[in-house]
Structure 1
Amino acid sequence: MDIGGTEVDQFEHLKPIYRSKLRAFLGRKYYTYRRYIEWFIHHHKFAKQNSKINLDFCIIKHQTPLYRPLKNVDMWLQDNKVNNLKIAIRQIDGIIIKPGETFSYWKLIGNPTASKGYKDGMILHYGSFKAGVGGGLCQLSNLIYWMTLHTPLTVTERHRHSFDVFPDANRTQPFGSGATCVYNYRDLRILNDTDEDYQIRLFIENDCLVGIILSNRPQYFKYNIYERNHKFTLQFWGAYVRHNEIRRVVKSMNDDKIIDEHVCENHALMMYEPLLESGDNTLE
């Protein structure tokens, strides 16, 4: 990990621009209704078949803890997050993505409103956090994205937080290996351009969010996800930006390397000093 020198202006776009409440409200409405129009006009073949009967072959299983001690974050926000995840899970668990179909996180979950039982959870906001209805659902999109990287499925839409809010502690996945979500214009979309069916199963067990991706045929490849070029750079306007590249090694079942491919780059404005000792403050 490197602490780089001052960058001139390459990442000046990450410098926060604080909008008025009215402008922020109108901006959200604009992007929300633009996505509604896109749903209507483009007629994507979205996955919608659901089955609680598991497909035959487990491709990947992963879990993340539901509770983490986070600096200055009240535990009731995490309790409410668990409530929100339970509601959202019911909309996705068992979904089958058939060949040619696209999984859309928000098309399946819908708008997470209080009338559906969603409560105030933690929402990242301009480099900090606040309470908001449906908060905490990013943990679910993070999990699904991470599992997808271990399959032949193709991620066609994924978003990353522009801010790095909490220092690392006990991180088990590379920085930037998640997928943030904002209804409905920051979606997670996954295309099945294979000849196999894939199924997502989700549940909560022992204070963990657990996900499984299954298929009707066995896995043909192995996947290893890693990061490269992880560094911090000091911007001329006085802030640090964190960078890395996520890559994926694809191997045959005999461990023969097939390809080492680029997945994504991440650049996030840091909201803490990079040389501070990190407590138990990780947010995946």
Structure 2
Amino acid sequence: MQVNSLKPIKRSNLRIFFGKKVYRMKRYTEWVFDDKKYAKNKGEEKLPHSVFKHRTPLLRQLKDVDMQLQYNKITNLKIAAKKINRIVIQPGETFSYWKTIGATTKRKGYVDGMILHYGKVTTGVGGGLCQLSNLIYWMTLHTPLTITERYRHSYDVFPDSKRSQPFGSGATCAYNYLDLQIKNETTEPYQLIIYLTDVSLVGEWRSVSQPTNTYKVYEKDHQFTLEQWGGYVRHNTIYREVYNRNKECIDDQFITENHAITMYPPFLSQGDERG
């Protein structure tokens, strides 16, 4: 892996404000004029076969973060989950995270939740939905579906604690310009199931046939580098092994590489939960 050097970028509030306007308008234009066929129909019944299922905890104690934001996040996740749950991606169709969910406004019931803004914890209406995009991205890596658009976190804000997934195996989101898009290039429909329990956000990909392959996602070349500007940057690459029904490894595929500015001392005791 070629290690990329990163450094914090300072932008004025005015530039950030107008930058968002420009990027959002560009995305709206793409939705209207591109040649993609976006998935929009839901199945009344679940497709018969589970391809991959995963869950993540709804509440985490984060250092210096008000727990009320975690409860607000649950409210936001419930609203977004209803928009996505049971959507079916037919062959040739593309799932767009933000086109499906829509804008996260107070009028729709969204409340202030935690968002990460240039490496800092702040609040915003609809905050916390990165947990949902992270979940969908992680599950999709365990399917034959094709991820055509995904953005990584530029900052690593919280140290690892009880991590079960590799660093950088999520997908950050910001309406509507940081999108997660997934294309079904297979010959069968896939259905996305999303719901909340009392303690977990649960997701599942389902299809009409039993999966022929299974996947194991793992990281390589994990390291922290001390940069000339005085901070640390975290790096790794993500791969996945592909196994057939006889549990034989038939492929080892490169997925992506990650580089993120670290907002904590990386070599001290890591006792706080990550976001």
Where does residue 136 of structure 1 map in the other structure? 128
Given candidates 207, 223, 226, the residue that maps to 1:234 is 226
Distance between the aligned counterparts of 1:32 and 1:186, measured in 2? 9
Given candidates 71, 87, 90, the residue that maps to 1:95 is 87
Query: 1:103 is paired with a residue of what secondary structure?
Result: strand
**Is 2:198 the partner of 1:206?**
yes
What is the aligned length?
273
Equivalent positions of 1:139-178 (< 5 A) are 139-178=131-170
Where does residue 191 of structure 1 map in the other structure? 183
Given candidates 49, 56, 62, the residue that maps to 1:64 is 56
Question: Residues 122 and 136 of structure 1 are in contact (CA less than 8 Å); yes or no, is this contact kept in structure 2?
Answer: yes
Q: Shift of the alpha carbon at 1:16? A: 1.8
Please list the CA deviations of residues 26-50 of structure 1 after superposition, one character each: whole Å capped at 9, or x if unmatched.
0000100011111111131000111
Distance between the aligned counterparts of 2:56 and 2:272, measured in 1? 15
Please list the CA deviations of residues 166-204 of structure 1 after superposition, one character each: whole Å capped at 9, or x if unmatched.
000000100000000010111000000000110011111
Question: Residues 170 and 280 of structure 1 are in contact (CA less than 8 Å); yes or no, is this contact kept in structure 2?
Answer: no
Amino acid corresponding to residue 99 of structure 1 in structure 2: P
Runs of 4+ in 1 over 4 A off after TM superposition: none
Equivalent positions of 1:78-89 (< 5 A) are 78-89=70-81
Distance between the aligned counterparts of 1:236 and 1:20, measured in 2? 24
Where does residue 33 of structure 1 map in the other structure? 25
Question: Residues 61 and 213 of structure 1 are in contact (CA less than 8 Å); yes or no, is this contact kept in structure 2?
Answer: yes
Q: Shift of the alpha carbon at 1:52? A: 3.3
Distance between the aligned counterparts of 1:282 and 1:43, measured in 2? 38
Amino acid corresponding to residue 254 of structure 1 in structure 2: N
Where does residue 4 of structure 1 map in the other structure? none
**Is 2:108 the partner of 1:116?**
yes
Question: Residues 103 and 189 of structure 1 are in contact (CA less than 8 Å); yes or no, is this contact kept in structure 2?
Answer: yes
* Runs of at least 5 residues in structure 2 that lack an aligned partner in the other structure: none
Query: 1:59 is paired with a residue of what secondary structure?
Result: strand
CA RMSD of aligned residues (A): 0.9
Q: TM-score, normalised by structure 1?
A: 0.94
Question: Residues 60 and 147 of structure 1 are in contact (CA less than 8 Å); yes or no, is this contact kept in structure 2?
Answer: yes
Amino acid corresponding to residue 238 of structure 2 in structure 1: I
Query: 2:163 is paired with a residue of what secondary structure?
Result: coil
Please list the CA deviations of residues 110-164 of structure 1 after superposition, one character each: whole Å capped at 9, or x if unmatched.
0001111000000001111101000000000000011101100000000011000
Query: 1:33 is paired with a residue of what secondary structure?
Result: helix
Distance between the aligned counterparts of 1:224 and 1:175, measured in 2? 15
Where does residue 74 of structure 1 map in the other structure? 66
Amino acid corresponding to residue 70 of structure 1 in structure 2: L
Q: Shift of the alpha carbon at 1:257? A: 1.3
Percent identity over the alignment? Answer: 57
